[in-house]
Structure 1
Amino acid sequence: MRPRLLMGAMVGATLIAGGTLLAQDAPRLRGPEPFTREQPAPAMQRPVTNDLRVRRNYPDQPPVIPHAIEGYALDLNANKCMSCHARRFTEQSQAPMISVTHYQDREGNTLGGLAPRRYACLACHVPQTEARPLVENRFTDMDALTEPERHPGSRSNR
């Protein structure tokens, strides 16, 4: 009888704890309507197309795309990005050349062309839009963490 009573108490405590967790206010990423109700898609946000390079927040961060890419072909047969960013086209296009790491395999061996694992540019590089953030961003730049005296507004000084 006692094991059943103990098991019942454990199940009851689990249900109470689970209900408490579900009742907490978590940030909603989909809006005020329940996810089960179909809604029209929000309007597409305007892309940032100023062609200005954006400062990176940490070493080896992939650069963001500062121009529109709508209609760019990026499939097995074509990679529109390489028509400007490949080494042989950068002088004419004035686009930055892709990193030499894009011509290396997993072992660091230099290849004669673009590494297959680096072919899908949008896996790492993203275009920017003028959209408002869906949730609060508390990101602290790496420089603010390593040099707090030069960045008085950083979180590490609070």
Structure 2
Amino acid sequence: MTAYRFRVKFDPDPTSLWRDIVVGENRTVEEFQTAINRAVGLDHGHLWFVGTDEDYWNSEVKYECTEAFGETPNLGGFGFDEETYDASETTIGEMVRQLELEERDRLCYLYDYGDEWRFYAICTEIVGDESSDREPEVRKRKGDPIDQYGASNPRET
């Protein structure tokens, strides 16, 4: 029985918009991503990936949405070999083991390859008394959701 608590922060303004999300290790990376989008006000109509640390496009390991998995161009021109996984088939537990993720380690999340909504998630706690099958759940929050297509879009200012 293990779950993980992540503090997901909006990269351009991490103190104004964040969510604490707990997710069981048997849930997929895609389920975690869906919970992030719902929690911060983004839709689900664009390509995305979860990567390592704060590397975003330069991540050596990416967990991609099914639509992008195997379809995106090899970005080897950045000087590294990229390893990709299908986020719908990779559990949180598998990702944690593959990345050797520990408390205080960081993931990056990029949503919409055009607008590049950037978030990062810090593993704030490994929760041993939560179900491994726990659906992603927002436990704490700060800030209003993003108005992705509206006038309050912080990326447009």
TM over 0.5: no
TM range (shorter): under 0.3
Give the TM-score of the pair, scaled to structure 2.
Answer: 0.24
Structure of greater relative contact order (alpha carbons < 8 Å, 6+ residues apart) = 2
Task: Decide which structure has the larger Cα Rg and report it.
Answer: 1
Give the TM-score of the pair, scaled to structure 1.
Answer: 0.24
Instruction: Kindly indicate which of the two structures has a greater share of residues assigned to strand.
Output: 2
Instruction: Kindly indicate which of the two structures has a greater share of residues assigned to helix.
Output: 1
